[in-house]
Amino acid sequence: TGAGYSQELRLTSSSDKTNWTLGLFYDDAEIDSQRTGSGVFTSGFPISTSTSVTKFAESATSMSIFGTLSYNLSDKVTVDLGGRYYEDDKSQLFLLDGVALSDDRTASFNNTSFRGTLSYAMADSANIYFSVSQGFRSGGINFSNQLNYKPEKILSYEVGAKAALLDNRLYVEAALYHSDYTDYQASFQSLQGNITSNPGEAEIQGIEWSS
């Protein structure tokens, strides 16, 4: 079974030169599951069976404060800035017939990230842009006594163009991007189940085109 509560509040304002948004996000989720009995079978015949009760309880509470600002430096040049502060608290508990398989484990993560974009309007229906942004994926708790895994962070650069052609009947987007990951998160299977770790760093780059 699971239960959760999520809420987001936003305050926005706009004028001829400036648009801004301030926001607050909160999320609280809980998961409880229980299993009675287990067994190991070979060719349909039981090797071992158990009537034990296994209980798993997990909770996660997160909140963030964010804001964006868009300012027209001129009729053709616009700068967009954004930032977010994020907190995440998690806990996990395993019980076997009322006895803890591991301690009541907790983990807390926080991060502040920023984003900036500079765009130039070549025409009313076409513009080019350059952006730099930071990303964050929270860490977490692995099964049983495995080590917790760290948050994943990304620094991304992108340059691109957007245009509406043929009297707005054709919309075209093209972008070139490069991303650097720190503490990249990856999952693998072990005897204890699915485990997430941070094997190292990663780079991703490419070209996108859509029309």
Go through 123-142 and write b for each residue having 16 or more CB atoms within 10 A of its CB, e for each that does not: eeeebebebebbebbbbbbb
Q: Looking at residue 25, what is its pLDDT?
A: 96
pLDDT of residue 51: 62
**Confidence (pLDDT) at 58:** 83
Mean pLDDT of 119-142: 92
CA 181 to CA 138: how far, in whole Å? 13
Q: Write down the pTM of the prediction.
A: 0.78
Rounded to whole angstroms, the Cα distance separating 109 from 204 reads: 25
Q: Dump pLDDT digits (tens) for 43-99.
A: 445 455 556 667 777 889 999 999 999 999 999 999 999 999 999 999 888 776 666
- Both tokens of 137, joined, read 């994926």
Q: Give the pLDDT mean for 27-55.
A: 63
